[in-house]
């Protein structure tokens, strides 16, 4: 069975702008969804046992290695079983939330999700990243070049690693509604929100049809 794998990472729950925009995508998606909320149920960070288990003969694995590998197997099979992906990954301190990095470290395994010599099995599958941020990081802004989330995920989720066909939605200036000095930027934030929700709805509809085809 193919499905949409939705990975959530925002710590803000229903108050998360990233989650709200992702919901606009979900509202248009037709088909099964597997939802993993890493903010509610985080996966463990990669351990020494998790690394050595990958290269240890099954008969020689320790209890710790077997347990660590079981976690990786579950996450990898869940990832590989999807036909499309939705990642809710807000910008935290210029980069990805630590819970998402922990998930990535668990699923990135040479020979299963990574191939050093060519395409992998997930190459070309559609994926959407929703990444809200408190400020603005586009060309010409004071923080241009300080977004270390989008470029990182473009390389990891997209080429050259997982090969997903990636689209990124970035609702911006979310702090304009809360920080007085940013109040003049509120119209730009509101426009960014409208555009982000519209883009999410369009992608949800389009990718749902593509996945079912």
Written as tens digits, the pLDDT of the chain (213 aa) is: 589 999 999 999 999 999 999 999 999 999 999 999 999 999 999 999 999 999 999 999 999 999 999 999 999 999 999 999 999 999 999 999 999 999 999 999 999 999 988 889 999 999 999 999 999 999 999 999 999 999 999 999 999 999 999 999 999 999 999 999 999 999 999 999 999 999 999 999 999 877 655
Q: Which residue in 34, 45, 127, 57 sits closest to 85, CA to CA?
A: 127
The alpha-helical segments, DSSP class H, found in 108-182 are 150-156
Tokens at 27, concatenated: 């509202």
The count of structural domains within the chain is: 1
What count of other Cβ atoms lies within 10 Å of the Cβ of residue 131?
Answer: 26
Residue 68 to residues 11, 46, 76, 108, 111, Cα–Cα distance (Å): 25, 8, 12, 14, 17
Which domain range does residue 165 map to?
Answer: 4-212
Taking CB atoms within 8 Å and a gap of at least 24, the contacts of 51-57 are 54/109
pTM: 0.95
CATH number of the domain enclosing 80: 3.40.50.360
Please, which residues bridge with residue 127 across strands?
85, 166
Give the per-residue pLDDT at 1.
Answer: 54
Q: Output the CA–CA distances (angstroms, integers) from residue 34 to 75, 88, 140, 180, in the order listed.
A: 12, 13, 39, 39
């Amino acid at each position: 069975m193919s499905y949409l794998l939705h990975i959530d990472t925002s710590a803000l729950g229903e108050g998360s702008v990233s989650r709200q925009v992702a919901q606009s995508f979900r509202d248009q998606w037709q088909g099964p969804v597997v939802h993993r909320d890493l903010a509610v149920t985080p996966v463990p960070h990669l351990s020494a046992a998790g690394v050595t288990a990958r290269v240890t003969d099954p008969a020689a694995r320790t209890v710790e290695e077997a347990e660590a590998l079981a976690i990786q197997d579950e996450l990898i099979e869940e990832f590989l079983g999807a036909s499309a992906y939705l990642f809710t990954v807000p910008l935290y301190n210029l980069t990805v939330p630590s819970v998402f990095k922990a998930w990535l470290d668990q699923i990135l395994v040479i020979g299963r999700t990574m191939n050093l010599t060519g395409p992998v099995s997930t190459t070309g599958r559609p994926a959407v990243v929703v990444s809200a941020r408190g400020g603005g990081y586009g060309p010409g802004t004071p923080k241009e070049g300080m977004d270390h989330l989008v470029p990182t995920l473009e390389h990891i989720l997209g080429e050259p690693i997982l090969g997903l066909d990636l689209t990124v939605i970035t609702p911006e200036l979310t702090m304009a509604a809360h920080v007085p000095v940013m109040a003049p930027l509120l119209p730009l934030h509101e426009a960014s929100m409208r555009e982000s929700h519209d883009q999410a709805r369009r992608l949800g509809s389009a990718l749902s049809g593509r996945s079912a085809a």
